[in-house]
Amino acid sequence: MYIGAKVTLVSLCPTDAAEAAERPALTPELLAASGARYSRNKEGLEAILARIDPKNRDKSVDSIFRMIDYGHQSIADMAPVALFIDGVSLWLAYYLWTLSPTAGGQESSTRYIRLSADGLIPPERLGIPSTMLLGWQARMQNAFDTYQKALAFWENLVEAHPDLARIPRTLQADSSEKAQKAVQRMQRNYAFDRARYFLPVAAQTNVMLVQSARAWVTVVQHLLSHPLPEAQSLGIQIRDELGLATPRLLRHATEKDYFVQGIRAELLAWQAMAGQVDPPSLQTEATRFDHAPSGFLQVFPPESITTRTLANDLTYHTNRYAHFGADLRRTAVRFGWEAVAFAEIRDLNRHRTGTKHCPLVPMGFYYATDELPVEDSTYLALGQVGREASAVARQWLSDGDFTGIYHTLLGTQFPFEHTTTADKFIYEAELRTGTGAHYRYADHLREILHLWYEQFPETKGLILEGSAEPE
CATH topology of domain 280-459: Gyrase A; domain 2 (3.30.1360)
Per-residue pLDDT averaged across 324-346, rounded? 97
pTM (predicted TM-score): 0.93
Condensed to tens digits (0 to 9), the pLDDT of residues 154-166 reads: 999 998 988 888 8
What is the DSSP code string of 406-471?
GG-BTTEEEEEEEEEEHHHHHHHHHHHTSTTS-HHHHHHHHHHHHHHHHH-GGGTTTS-TT-SPP-
Model confidence at 420: pLDDT above 90: yes
Model confidence at 201: pLDDT above 60: yes
pLDDT of residue 47: 87
Residues 6+ apart with CB under 8 A from 187: 155, 158, 159, 162, 165, 167
- Dihedral angle at the C-alpha atoms of 153, 154, 156, 159, nearest 10 degrees? 180
Domain boundaries, the chain: 1-110+202-255, 280-459
Condensed to tens digits (0 to 9), the pLDDT of residues 32-61 reads: 888 888 877 788 988 888 888 888 887 788
Per-residue burial over 408-442, b = 16 or more CB atoms within 10 Å of its CB, e = otherwise: bbbbbbbbbbbbbbbbbbbbbbbbbbbeebbebbb
Average pLDDT, the chain: 92
User: Are the folds of 1-110+202-255 and 280-459 the same?
Assistant: yes
Model confidence at 425: pLDDT above 90: yes
pLDDT of residue 318: 94
In sequence order, the β-bridge partners of residue 334 are 298, 419
Condensed to tens digits (0 to 9), the pLDDT of residues 71-130 reads: 557 788 888 999 999 999 999 999 999 999 999 999 999 988 899 999 999 999 999 999
CATH architecture of 1-110+202-255: 2-Layer Sandwich (3.30)
Residues 345, 94 contacting (CB under 8 angstroms):
yes
pLDDT of residue 180: 83
